[in-house]
Amino acid sequence: MTAPDPLAPTISYAPEVAAAKAEGRPIVALESTIITHGMPFPGNLTMARSVEAIIRAEGAVPATIAVIDGVLHAGLDDGQLKALARTKGAMKLSRADLAFAIAEGKTGATTVAATMIGAALAGIGVFATGGIGGVHRNAENTFDISADLEELARTAVIVVCAGAKAILDIPKTLEVLETRGVPVVTLGSVEFPAFWSRGSGLTSPLTLDDAEAIARFQAVRRTLGLGGGVLVANPIPEEYEIPRETMETFIARALGDADAAGISGKAVTPYLLGRLFEITEGRSLAANIGLVENNARLAARIAVAMRDTA
Ligand code: PSU
Ligand code: MN
């Protein structure tokens, strides 16, 4: 037996994901930071299980990406999902530290950026999440711009989200995506959505009306050798929507609290998300779960359609 080659990235596939890969069936990647740092327990576990069930019901296979004790996983069993949902100690992994967690045998949850990397290594072209990281408000002073945006520019994975949270500077986020050549496509609306709200007041750079059109678009991008991802924005279902003006006052409070507490770096996004769940007394959590489920359904349909356009 030779020692494992540290330069060969090894992925541990869940049996269901390995079978889907072997048979060429559609697969949807899911991130794990939303579980460990994006939602409180037990809502995070409810969400993780229900999105997996939705993806299966659409005829695709879910593959939650995470690093557990130094092993990069594509697909977690229910015990692993439960342990991740309860843990307080997981690292939050992006491009900068994904390899560190593997090299050092750590457990870490993958952000949008690191999940895209894991998905691409695993040959998975679609990924569903809630919201992406972006340009933070006051970024002109803090330089706080999520590595998610750079990853969208370099890694060929379609990311389905519900737009960007208004804790971010949404116009600047769209500007950076445009500069980096990342297509932003809103499903069925000319307005870019703002996570809890169906609208942001900003025009979506592009609009498409169904999963098949999104799959075709990425196929043409691939043919042209363009590389990089596509950001698909799927507006929150009306039944879960929280009006923009209502959220804005809550966001202002959360931002003020973050400032007063001196929160910076990687801690900013998780802190703001946690404060908002507290301030809205769970209303934003129900909305968050509803929109992730909606995104999982669309991502599964895109994965099915991509198999047909491949
Ligand atoms: N926005 C959300 N929910 C989340 C996140 C962002 O509405 O859970 C998580 C995602 O994992 C995203 C990460 O990739 O936060 C971005 O963190 P940062 O801003 O530190 O790059
Ligand atoms: Mn940041």
Based on the residue annotation, tell me whether 165 is a catalytic residue of this protein. yes
Question: Which region among 154-158, 163-167, 203-207, 215-219 has the lowest average model confidence (pLDDT)?
Answer: 163-167
CA gap 179, 192 in Å, rounded: 17
Give the C-alpha separation, 107 to 67, whole Å.
5
pLDDT tens-digit profile of 74-90? 999 999 999 999 999 99
Q: Is residue 281 pLDDT above 70, yes or no?
A: yes
pLDDT at 120 over 90: yes
Q: 30, 34, 263: which to mutate for ligand 1, most atoms within 8 A of CB?
A: 34
CA gap 268, 270 in Å, rounded: 6
DSSP 248-294: HHHHHHHHHHHHHTT--GGGHHHHHHHHHHHHTTTHHHHHHHHHHHH
* pLDDT for the residue 10: 87
Q: Cα(301) to centroid of ligand 1, in Å? A: 24
Residue identifier of the C-alpha nearest atom 7 of ligand 1:
131
Which residues does residue 64 pair with via DSSP β-bridges, in sequence order?
30
- Alpha-carbon distance of 310 to 215, in angstroms, equals 9
- Structural domains in the chain, CATH included, are 11-309 (3.40.1790.10)
Q: Is the pLDDT of residue 1 over 50?
A: no
Ligand 1 mean position to 137 CA, how many Å?
14
The proportion of the chain whose per-residue pLDDT surpasses 70, expressed as a percent, equals 96
Positive or negative CA dihedral for 3, 8, 9, 14?
A: negative
Q: Is the pLDDT of residue 161 over 80?
A: yes
Closest ligand to Cα 111: 1
pLDDT tens for 9-52 read: 589 999 999 999 999 999 999 999 999 999 999 999 999 999 99
Q: Mean pLDDT for the chain?
A: 95
Residue 4: pLDDT band (50, 70, 90) is low
For the segment 149-159, the average pLDDT, to the nearest whole number, is 98
The Cα–Cα gap between 257 and 250 comes to 11
Identify the pLDDT of residue 310: 57
Residue 7 has a pLDDT of 46
Res. 309 pLDDT band, cuts 50 70 90: low
The separation between the first and the last C-alpha atoms of the chain, rounded to the nearest angstrom, is 38
The pLDDT, as a whole number, for residue 3 is 54
Pocket of ligand 1 (CB under 6 A): 31, 33-34, 38, 111-112, 130-133, 146-148, 165, 266, 269, 273
Q: d(Cα 28, Cα 30) in Å, to the nearest integer?
A: 7
pTM across the whole model: 0.96
**Contact residues for 82 (Cβ-Cβ < 8 A; gap 6+):** 45
Nearest ligand 1 atom to alpha carbon 144: 19
Q: 43 with 285: CB under 8 angstroms? A: yes
| Gap from CA of 231 to ligand 1 centroid (Å) | 14
Q: Does the active-site annotation cover 31?
A: yes
Mean pLDDT, residues 133-155 taken together:
97
By the 8 A CB rule, do 122 and 29 touch?
yes
Alpha-helix runs per DSSP H in 87-207: 98-103, 112-121, 139-142, 147-154, 170-179
For the chain, what's the residue count? 310
